[in-house]
């Protein structure tokens, strides 16, 4: 009887220790105020691109890859935006008939490493103007976009609700990463990008 009670007490203490450690890890991830700009590339990450190219979305756009007068560009970023070191994959396809006046469709994906993808966000934005942080929700960093189509260079913020990203509001242009996105846009506009 005493041994059984000690064993129960041990299991209870072990359970409490694991719950406390998990809560502390979640709190520390929520308190992490680092931010950064997504690093998109048109080449590289062949293992990720191979998995992406098996998706139905890619079969819709790959026909534009062979058209020399309407080239299609694929932009991919793999970012450490998940608590515990997990990665989010961002992909957008840029080209005639793939983009509109407000930009191109950007998908934020969470992969399982075996070719299965869950779309956490699909939104129209400017390719290459994406930031992460400084806040987090449910273990994933907030996603901040360049606010080119809003007043006063405010940046739309998308927050993870546990299942997908939802619009959360506008970030002031003097807060990071919104400030850095607006600076990048001004710099590239001055260089003749737009």
Tell which wins on pLDDT, 155 or 115: 155
* Residue ranges covered by each domain of the chain: 1-31, 34-190
* Residue 21 in tokens: 């450690």
Q: Mean of the per-residue pLDDT values for the chain?
A: 80
Q: CA-to-CA distance for 59 and 84, rounded, in angstroms? A: 32
Band (151; pLDDT cuts 50, 70, 90): low
> Is residue 13 scored above 60 in pLDDT?
no
Which residue has tokens 């406390």?
20
> Is residue 134 scored above 90 in pLDDT?
yes
């Amino acid at each position: 009887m005493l041994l059984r009670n000690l064993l129960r007490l041990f299991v209870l203490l072990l359970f409490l220790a694991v719950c406390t450690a998990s809560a502390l890890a979640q709190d520390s991830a929520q308190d992490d105020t680092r931010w950064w700009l997504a690093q998109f590339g048109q080449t590289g990450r062949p293992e990720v691109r191979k998995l992406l190219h098996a998706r139905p979305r890619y079969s819709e756009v790959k026909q534009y890859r062979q058209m020399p007068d309407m080239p299609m560009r694929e932009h991919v970023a793999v970012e450490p935006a998940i608590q515990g070191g997990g990665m989010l994959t961002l992909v957008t396809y840029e080209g005639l008939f793939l983009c509109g006046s407000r930009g191109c469709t950007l998908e934020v994906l969470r992969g399982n490493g075996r070719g299965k993808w869950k779309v956490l966000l699909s939104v129209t934005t400017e390719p290459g103007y994406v930031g992460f942080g400084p806040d987090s929700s449910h273990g994933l960093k907030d996603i901040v976009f360049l606010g080119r189509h809003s007043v006063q260079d405010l940046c739309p913020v998308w927050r993870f609700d546990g299942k997908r990203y939802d619009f959360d509001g506008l970030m002031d242009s003097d807060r990071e990463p919104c400030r850095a996105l607006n600076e990048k846009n001004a710099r590239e506009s001055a260089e003749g990008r737009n």
